[in-house]
Amino acid sequence: MQRLRTSSSSIGRALCPAARPVAVVAVTARTQWHRERLQQVRHASSAHAEETFEEFTARYTSFFKGVQDIFELQRGLNNCFAYDLVPAPSIIEAALHAARRVNDYGTAVRVFEGIKEKVENKAQYDAYLAELKTVKDELGE
């Protein structure tokens, strides 16, 4: 007995020749809908005005003043340090007070490590340390 050699694609075409083009059309239409939706979302998100440094500082300072748990503190620090700028000393001060409030010394240390990574040189880091000296003394290094 001889076996019949056929590929699975020829079997599919032989059984239902119109199935493939319909599936391709359906996938293409769905893909086109997703592309249009993404363009709408991108267009809507680009309509926001840019935030000034003062608004950024006010937003994160008020955020850290309201922090009540470690997760919220770390999430806020992650978001704050993700921007392409060095946070103002008032933000850092509010973050250090929040770290003290939630009793998380490790995160307070990492705030200083984050500043050290964000500044361009050691002189800028020393300026931040000098600015925050009173806060460090108040909170007990």
70 compared with 37, residue with greater pLDDT: 70
127 compared with 1, residue with greater pLDDT: 127
Q: What is the pLDDT of residues 116-125, one digit of tens each?
A: 999 999 999 9
Q: What percent of the chain has pLDDT over 90?
A: 58
Per-residue pLDDT at 42 exceeds 80: no
User: What pTM was estimated for this model as a whole?
Assistant: 0.65
Non-local (6+) Cβ contacts of 61 within 8 A are: 88, 90, 91, 94
pLDDT score at 23: 47
The CA R_g of the chain, rounded to the nearest whole Å, is 28
Residue type, 113: E
Q: How far is Cα 58 from Cα 56, in angstroms, rounded to an integer?
A: 6
Q: Would you place residue 126 in the very low, low, confident or very high pLDDT band (cuts 50, 70, 90)?
A: very high
Buried b (16+ CB within 10 A) or exposed e, 50-88: eeeeeebbeebbebbeebeeeeebbebbeebbeeeebbb
